[in-house]
Structure 1
Amino acid sequence: MARISKISIHVLILALIAVLSGSCQAEIPLKKINGISLVASRDSLRSEHILPMVEINANAVALVPYAFVPNKDEPRLIFNTERQWFGERVAGIEHAIKLLKKQDLRLMIKPHIWLRNGEFTGDFKASTESDWVKFESTYRDYILLYARIAEENNIETFCIGTELFNFADQRPDYWKQLIADVRSIYKGKLVYAENWDKVDKIEFWDQLDYIGVDAYFPLSEESSPTEEEIRNGWQNHKNMLEELSQEFNKPVMFTEYGYRSMDYALKEPWNSSRDISGINQELQARALKILYEEFWGENWFAGGYIWKWHQSENAGGPDNDRFTPQNKPAEAVIQKNHENFRN
């Protein structure tokens, strides 16, 4: 009897450990974020601008305040100034929040940095320790400003940075402290948005609620790949993301995703150059269809925000080769997928 009792106790202890371990794991959401990235505008968002978002069954919107580095030799951020467009600063963000909340849309505030001449933010690095400290001080002020706004307005998700790999990689102690500072004033979910090619190199995913990726993965060298070719192009990337989710026990979020409506759009999906073109509306729609089929049914995947959506009802259209899906065949694909995963 004593032996049986010891075995039983041992089994119970193991079971208890398993239960407790499971309770500490991050929740992997089954409901999806069907989001859009709203382009900051010089003008105020109006109620009629929101109707097309609702019509495509979006349930979330990313708002994008901007900060600028005017001179790379003096690395500091300029933000929330009257010289910026209304939608890029505090007044515009707060105005948009009020209107979007009336439609029961979930919100994410996703700060972006613009470097002089449009240089890629992931390559940014300060030249000296003194320059790093100056830049970090203004970045902290920028992030905490919008974190407070997020808390005051019950915003569901806050993004602590977008495509800043060198900064994140070279200054880990700063980011650890920044996350703690944000947590002290903001009680919602936190994410960081890393570029597709560096998402598996970020060390602080365990401190956040989501693994965020701007998902411009190259999928095909062809001018207009088939559905099968696009699906095949996703497999290595998808496996990496699933493994990353398992490693950190965090859901993956596409903080940005999308394609231009042109030939070769899947070769370098991040490429926004106006020197390349060749309108192909069907490829944009086809690529989104396969993306939804590959990811939205996965329980380790949280959903995402399509790049990008303009306030104007005349945005996009058949002669437009940019990222927006508005007034293009891709819009119907998005609407259908959102309807399938509506909540």
Structure 2
Amino acid sequence: MKDLFVKGMTYGWNSSRGAYRTPRAVESLEKLKETGSEWIALSFYTYQNTIFSTDIPFDYGFTMTDSDIMFAVKKAKELGLKVCLKPVVNSRDGLWRARIGFPEEAYDYWAQWFESYANFVVHYAELAEDLGCEMFCIGCEMVGTESQTEHWIKVVERVRNVYSGPIIYNANHGKEDGIEWFDQVDIIGTSAYYPVGEKPGDSEETMLKNWEKVKGRIENLHRKFNKPIVFMEIGCRSAESCAMMPWDFEHRDLPFNEEEQANFYSSVMKTFWDEPWFSGFFWWDWSTELYSLEEAKNNRGFDIYGKKAEEVLKDWYFNK
């Protein structure tokens, strides 16, 4: 995996069924390609009812269809993009997926949940194999389940029975050290939403200083397992204070600030790009329906289309 370097972007998160197949989605994917991106993480989710449910059903009224996914992968490949397929389980009760889980001694509950989860993941692993996806993500930020090492090893085994490409798992920032089974995957992924700003509108210099502290932690993870590291998710909104809480999507009243977002992007690139153990980024995220360029200066979301961070990304992706 040493020769792997992902110049990537997450595409289409939080899209409804059918959203990949619209003319606007295709146009958005074309604009994503124009950033110099070479990969997309095609990330979609289904629901289990609560964080304590043991069954992950296919919701015929909600879940992306295989046809949706086939369409998006085909379009991406027509544009010369490589694809990491990334199925995710969320909880319909609104609680974060990291809280899915049971007491340690609830063996039957764990066994039932992992059986259902493995069935869910293996379905998409088979699809990834059939579509020639170049990477497969077996889970995202499932913090409450990560201590179940034996169960996760079995999930990986089942995926490898049907998928021949590299497998990645997406940990959450600050929780990477709790995963003892990273030796089972090919690539270690994390959602690197580390807070590197110290005040609203902070400078790139401050962010660089704070990324250096994070870098040591991430490098230690690489040394422990001898696996390449990919930021399976990373980014922040173009809103004031975003670098202090890059994961935030809820505070809609924060003023627009594309400078802080651009500083975040630039500081990440400068810190990690040349590290021999580091293998790239899937930035969060790029929507299927983009706003107009005129609206870019009012958009306070994660999208970088028409913003200063897009110019930073293009410079690194095209010129490095």
Alignment of 1:92-131 (within 5 A): 92-126=68-102, 128-131=106-109
Consecutive aligned runs of 4 or more in structure 1 exceeding 4 Å deviation: none
Alignment of 1:1-343 (within 5 A): 27-29=1-3, 32-40=5-13, 41-42=15-16, 43=19, 44-46=21-23, 47-79=26-58, 81-84=59-62, 88-126=64-102, 128-169=106-147, 171-314=148-291, 317-341=296-320
Distance 2:156 2:254 in 1: 41
Calculate the TM-score normalised by the size of structure 1. Answer: 0.86
Distance 1:257 1:333 in 2: 15
Distance 1:254 1:289 in 2: 15
Q: CA deviation at 1:274?
A: 3.2
The Cα offsets for residues 21-55 of structure 1, whole Å up to 9 and x where unpaired, read as: xxxxxx423x5211111124332154433220121
Distance 1:72 1:245 in 2: 31
SS at match of 1:64: strand
Q: Percent identity among equivalent residues?
A: 27
Task: Quote the RMSD (CA, aligned, Å).
Answer: 1.7
Deviates more, 1:221-230 or 1:274-283: 274-283
Unaligned runs of 5+ in 1: 1-26
Distance 2:204 2:291 in 1: 29
Amino acid at match of 1:59: E
Distance 2:216 2:318 in 1: 26
The Cα offsets for residues 262-317 of structure 1, whole Å up to 9 and x where unpaired, read as: 11112121121135512111110111011111111222111011101012242671
Distance 2:238 2:72 in 1: 28
Are the counterparts in 2 of residues 164 and 194 from structure 1 also a CA contact under 8 Å?
A: yes
Are the counterparts in 1 of residues 54 and 116 from structure 2 also a CA contact under 8 Å?
A: no
Are the counterparts in 2 of residues 75 and 135 from structure 1 also a CA contact under 8 Å?
A: yes
Are the counterparts in 2 of residues 281 and 328 from structure 1 also a CA contact under 8 Å?
A: yes
SS at match of 1:118: coil
SS at match of 1:67: strand
Distance 1:312 1:90 in 2: 20
Distance 1:292 1:122 in 2: 27
Are the counterparts in 2 of residues 75 and 126 from structure 1 also a CA contact under 8 Å?
A: no
Question: How many pairs does the alignment contain?
Answer: 310
Q: CA deviation at 1:145?
A: 0.3
Unaligned runs of 5+ in 2: none
Calculate the TM-score normalised by the size of structure 2. Answer: 0.92
